[in-house]
Amino acid sequence: MNLTNQLSKIPSKLPEDSRIWIYQANRSFTEKEIKEINLQLEHFYLQWQVHGEPVSGWAGIFFNQFILFIADESKNSISGCSIDSTVSLLKSLERQYQIQLFDRMTLTFLVKDKVEMLPFSQLSYALEKGYIQVDTLIFNNLITKLADLKDSWVIPLNESWAKQHIELT
């Protein structure tokens, strides 16, 4: 389950400067949930609009745990109600599947091609005990452009925003 395979899901028609939003679930989705959620995401993005105009966009599940929304903003900027509609869908998914998608205090790492989660408050402890190292890959869910998925989404911990909260040795 490597990044290149995951990125191959994204339609090539979307330009590199498309805007993205990344939401991580507090657990992996089952195969059945992935199928059901992907159907809901497809239904959503095929009808996604901004000010009555269709959004050229896409949404999908990555690494069985992340939901990504992608929108080409070359014709219409995504704002207000069009963003609210994604949040509404996500809140609905949270209720349907008993998941959390808005917890920003949990870090997600890629360890041996497996997604591992860690509460932010335990980051220093995990480093100290050797559960993770400074070069362990972390998901940088703060990126905002499609082009950044390839180079900046999965990066070593010591190159991430989280490095300012730990002592690097």
How open is the CA angle 22-116-95, to the nearest 5 degrees? 55
Report if residue 147 sits inside a domain.
no
Residues 64 and 137 in one domain: no
Residue pair 140/154 in contact (Cβ under 8 Å)? The answer is: yes
Total tally of structural domains belonging to the chain: 2
Residues 32 and 115 in one domain: no
Residues 86 and 46 in one domain: yes
DSSP string, 103-115: -TTEEEEEETTEE
Which residue in 124, 157, 160, 137 sits closest to 3, CA to CA? Answer: 137
Which residues are CB-neighbours of 153 under 8 A, at least 6 positions away? Answer: 3, 22, 139, 140, 141, 143
Q: How far is Cα 121 from Cα 123, in angstroms, rounded to an integer?
A: 6
67-79 per-position pLDDT tens digit: 999 999 998 888 8
Residues 72 and 131 in one domain: no
Residues 58 and 83 in one domain: yes
Which residues are CB-neighbours of 66 under 8 A, at least 6 positions away? Answer: 22, 23, 24, 25, 108, 139, 141
Residues 53 and 9 in one domain: yes
Residues 88 and 42 in one domain: yes
Residues 93 and 14 in one domain: yes
pTM metric for this prediction: 0.92
Residues 22 and 53 in one domain: yes
User: What pLDDT score was predicted for residue 4?
Assistant: 83
104-136 per-position pLDDT tens digit: 899 999 988 889 999 999 998 999 999 999 999
Residues 45 and 111 in one domain: no
Q: Write out the residue range of the structural domain in which residue 31 sits.
A: 3-97
